[in-house]
Amino acid sequence: MENTTPSRSLGARAAQALRALLGLSSSVKLLDVNLGKPGVGGEIDMLAHVSVLGRKELLACKVKPGGQLRDVAAALDELRCDSPGRVSDATPVLVAPNLSVQARELCSRCRTSYLDFEGNGRLELGELFIRRRSLTRNRTSGLSAGLSRSAAVAGTAKIPPAGFKPTGCDAALAGANSRRA
């Protein structure tokens, strides 16, 4: 009998969102997706094997039920830690039902790929970069964050130059973690 708990449903939706994002590029083929078992707090780890221009890559996904900044900061800490379940040569990906603009920016600063069920996604696979934004959610999130309508629609994330070394991730995570309470 298949487990139909809400966390299993969350994992299935995460796999579906990943398939949709990867489907945007003809250079990427999804080979398989393996959902982990529900963990503490409803977390599910998901491993996806993909082929990028004929080269095999592994995506290590952390699926979280919440996408606010404090939830994302905790997930980024988990993805960065040398835990027994961590796969060191995999591309880290954060998946959540909805990621706020600030949460997506934090993921970008920390060089972690992300996607949500609202249609937002950013995935770096070596020389291939896939990015997608949902205008409906970004428009309301951007306006509530004080951005103009054109900035909310256009987005504010920037693609880092080649050879970019992240410098603000630890400070950004520390700031986000201090806002938890």
Structure confidence at residue 27 (pLDDT):
93
The secondary structure of 88-110 as a DSSP string is TTSEEEEEES---HHHHHHHHHT
Residue 37 lies in a domain: yes
**pTM higher than 0.75 for the full model?**
no
The answer on pLDDT for 79 being more than 50 is: yes
Range of the domain at 127: 6-174
Residue 49 lies in a domain: yes
Which range among 38-52, 95-109, 158-172 shows the weakest confidence by mean pLDDT? 158-172
Cα separation, 150 vs 90, in Å, equals: 36
Residue 86 lies in a domain: yes
Residue 29 lies in a domain: yes
SS3 127: coil
The answer on pLDDT for 20 being more than 90 is: yes
Residue 41 lies in a domain: yes
Quick: pLDDT tens for 96-148.
999 999 999 999 999 999 999 999 999 998 888 899 988 754 444 443 333 33
Residue 1 lies in a domain: no
Of all residues in the chain, what percent carry a pLDDT higher than 70? Answer: 62
Q: Could you tell me which residues come within 8 angstroms of residue 14 by beta carbon, excluding any fewer than 6 positions away?
A: 44, 46, 61, 63, 95, 117
CB 64 within 8 A of CB 95: yes
Q: Which residue has the higher pLDDT, 59 or 174?
A: 59
- The number of domains in the chain is 1
Structure confidence at residue 178 (pLDDT):
57
